[in-house]
Amino acid sequence: MPKVPFRAVALFAASVVIVAGCFLTEPSAQTTVKDLELAFPTVNQLAVTDYYDYGDGCVFFEYRRGSFSSLPDSGWCDNAFSSDPPVAFDPQALDDLSALKAEFRRDGLALTDIRAGFHTHGSLDPGSSFSTDTLCMDYVWHPGWTKLPETDPGNSMSMAVNADWYETNICP
């Protein structure tokens, strides 16, 4: 049997560990959207239309009770499309936001952004999107989509996940 140099074996073993680590630490898009769907009941119950927390001190949360902001008088920690100016978080809004974030954390997702719409009968609109801190992806729920959004070179690129979801890389 030929002798394999120790250096070659060590290099091969290190490569296997690195590649395996990538697969173990990065959830697949299929796994991510399944986890997102588990939180739909809470999103629907609260009728969340907008949420973001980018770690810059601004947390904005708009849902059935109104618009709330950690910096309501800042002029920039809000939603320009909202009909109501945000107010400071009250205890109930903080509790509701905690419940929403707990739903996503339970499945290992760190939620950073929701942009959602609701039908008049209270169910989530197709085209609602969810962002997590994994892979800079914006996951768009759009059951029965037939055409991906056009790619914006240098800014975003969309890819199919399944018949109900596509993902858009939102990192420039």
Partners of 59 in the beta sheet? Answer: 53
Spell out the per-residue pLDDT of the chain, length 172, in tens. Answer: 555 454 444 344 434 333 333 333 345 777 788 888 888 999 999 999 999 887 788 999 999 999 999 999 888 888 777 777 899 999 999 999 999 999 888 777 888 889 898 876 678 889 999 987 655 778 999 999 988 887 666 667 888 999 999 988 877 5
CA separation for the pair 130, 110 (Å, rounded): 11
Task: Tell which phi-psi region holds residue 144, choosing left (phi > 0), alpha (psi between -120 and 50) or beta.
Answer: left
Give pLDDT, residue 14. 37
> DSSP of the chain, one letter per residue?
-PPPPHHHHHHHHHHHHHHHHHHHHS--HHHHHHHHHHTHHHHHHHT--EEEE-SSS-EEEEETTEEEESSTTSSSSS-TT-SS--EEPPHHHHHHHHHHHHHHHHTT--EEEEE--B-TTSPBPTTEEEEESSTTEEEEE-TT--SPPPPBTTTBEEEE-SSSEEEEE---
Give pLDDT, residue 5. 53
CA separation for the pair 172, 163 (Å, rounded): 26
